[in-house]
Structure 1
Amino acid sequence: MLTSLPEDEYSAEQVADCYRLRWQIELAFKRLKSLLHLDALRAKEPELAKAWIFANLLAAFLIDDIIQPSLDFPPRSAGSEKKN
């Protein structure tokens, strides 16, 4: 692994952890851009652009908050549905 960090200050494990975290951040921004179209800023005025970005980030956080609990449950297997 290549890095510009001082070798005597950071272990290989610390560097790998940093890269893993960075990759998760990259994936989060990719999801934001694709799902909420954050790459299509139409506002021309700085204040409107800021408000638009903040509103979309708030929406993303709320959506993530709502969806997150459902990710803790494994999918049901076929035939495990209750029949009345």
Structure 2
Amino acid sequence: MPDACPHTLSAGSYLLGLLTTEETDEFRRHSTRCALCQWEIVALMPGALFLQELKADVLAAEQRLCTDRPVLAAVAAREPRWVPGCRTA
């Protein structure tokens, strides 16, 4: 696709806060004038918001039973190291 922007690959990392400060500033400046990157940000936003909520749930679960919430239980079962102090039983 000749009109593709190589910076669209950074949109997900930008939304999840995984870029360095310099990369974030550069992507933010670029995306203000790139319609493809703007579209990618809009397209990825629902997933990024879901992941932010999931991260908050994981962090809040440190002393609760992880089986209280189905999605959190699945995360704890697959990646117990993500949930310090979380008990699954």
Query: Normalising TM by the smaller chain, what interval?
Result: 0.3 to 0.5
| TM-score normalized with structure 2 length | 0.31
| TM-score normalized with structure 1 length | 0.33
Structure with larger Rg: 1
- Higher RCO (C-alpha 8 Å, min separation 6): 2
